[in-house]
């Protein structure tokens, strides 16, 4: 049985991912968190849900980061949310400290693992993870493209009154307001949405997608999204564990692709047993390429802040 460790597993995103993985029955799940008793309690709760939800996965919790030893995949969801009075730079530096310490532990205890990063700011933290671990870039990826595309798919389905499972969408760029949804590459059962919706409606859905996380934060008031982020991470992990060659957008390290270098940003990739096995370069219009480069520049700016 494969083994997946979720660092930050005491939080909502990590615990949700743990549930989805347990239900798939494709890996042992270890929830790791610094909060004493929390990962153990959530692990026990997930274990006890098994008889009802009809899964038989091994789920445990621990406060010991060294217990990630032998992991095939490490999912990193740990980090702080921005608090009142905290600047963006403060948050960036604090989360870089947290992710950096986790990266060092992964390098020591799980040197052969593939790493999926969810911690924010996502693209910058994924870059930081690769830098500290020293892993080949194929083995370190960020989650957000799957999530952003799922939000776009959901909004398109709502607008058209169709099943979300019949909608496909593509969103590139950094995980934030500068992301680049691509209507030309979004469709309903193969029919481009540009043939189904007018330009003003598409632009409204694109804008809502860019602000999708903020919309949920505003509604929750004391937290952020976790069901869809957890599910998005598990789709990527499943592609690794089953070597299923999923073609999805994800934060990947670019070395010349799309005219970008030494940066993590959301692009279409093929995910399999080796991690990011291929980056797919889509033909982009001049406007789409400019938007992608602008988004990548924001990520590079954040990387430069870390030094």
Last residue of a domain, one of 127, 143, 159: 143
Residue indicated by tokens 């632009």: 203
Q: What angle do CA 216, 126, 19 make, to 5 degrees?
A: 55
pLDDT for the residue numbered 99:
98
Is position 175 annotated as part of the catalytic site? yes
- Specify which residues 192 forms β-bridges with: 187
CATH code where residue 129 lies: 3.40.50.720
Show the tokens assigned to 11.
């939080």
Say which residues have a Cβ less than 8 Å from residue 2's Cβ, sequence separation at least 6.
26, 27, 28, 72, 73, 241
Q: Which of 106, 134, 133 is nearest to 7 (CA)?
A: 106
CATH code where residue 190 lies: 3.90.110.10
Backbone angles phi, psi at 113, to 5 degrees: -75, 155
Element at 220 (helix H, strand E): helix 212-220
pLDDT for the residue numbered 84:
65
Choose, from 3, 128, 139, 175, the residue flagged as catalytic.
175
pLDDT for the residue numbered 54:
96
Euclidean distance between CA atoms 153 and 274, whole angstroms = 28
- Identify whether residues 26 and 49 lie together within a single domain: yes
pLDDT for the residue numbered 33:
98
- With beta carbons less than 8 A apart as the criterion, state whether 20 and 230 touch: yes
pLDDT for the residue numbered 293:
98
- Identify whether residues 192 and 277 lie together within a single domain: yes
pLDDT for the residue numbered 222:
86
Mean pLDDT by 10 residues, the chain (307 residues): 97 98 97 98 98 97 98 96 71 94 98 97 96 98 96 98 98 92 97 98 97 92 93 98 98 98 98 98 97 96 90
pLDDT for the residue numbered 86:
66
Domain extent, residue 221, equals 145-306
Per-residue pLDDT reduced to its tens digit, 253-263: 999 999 999 99
């Amino acid at each position: 049985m494969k083994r997946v460790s979720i660092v930050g597993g005491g939080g909502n995103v990590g615990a949700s991912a743990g549930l989805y993985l347990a239900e798939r029955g494709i890996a042992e799940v270890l929830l790791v968190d610094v909060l004493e008793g929390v990962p153990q309690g959530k692990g026990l709760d997930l274990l006890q849900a098994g008889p009802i939800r009809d899964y038989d996965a091994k789920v445990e919790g621990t406060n010991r980061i060294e217990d990630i030893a032998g992991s095939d995949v490490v999912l990193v969801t740990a980090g702080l949310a921005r608090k009142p009075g905290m600047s963006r730079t403060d948050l960036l530096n604090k989360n870089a400290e947290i992710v950096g310490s986790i990266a060092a532990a992964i390098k020591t205890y799980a040197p052969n693992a593939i790493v999926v990063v969810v911690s924010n700011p996502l693209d910058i933290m994924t870059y930081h993870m690769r830098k500290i671990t020293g892993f080949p870039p194929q083995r370190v990826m960020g989650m957000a493209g799957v999530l952003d595309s799922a939000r776009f798919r959901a909004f398109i389905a709502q607008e058209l009154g169709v099943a979300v499972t019949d909608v496909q969408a593509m969103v590139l760029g950094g995980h934030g307001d500068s992301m680049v949804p691509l209507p030309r590459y979004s469709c309903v059962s193969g029919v481009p949405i540009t043939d189904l919706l007018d330009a003003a409606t598409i632009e409204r859905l694109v804008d809502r997608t860019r602000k999708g996380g903020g919309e949920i934060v505003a509604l929750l008031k004391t937290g952020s999204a976790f069901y869809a982020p957890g599910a998005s991470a598990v789709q990527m992990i499943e592609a690794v564990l089953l070597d299923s060659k999923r073609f999805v957008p994800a934060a990947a390290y670019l070395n010349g692709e799309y005219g970008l270098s030494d940066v993590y940003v959301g692009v279409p990739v093929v995910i399999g047993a080796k991690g990011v096995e291929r980056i797919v370069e889509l033909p982009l219009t001049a406007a789409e390429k400019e938007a992608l480069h602008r988004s990548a520049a924001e990520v590079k700016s954040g990387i430069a802040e870390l030094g």
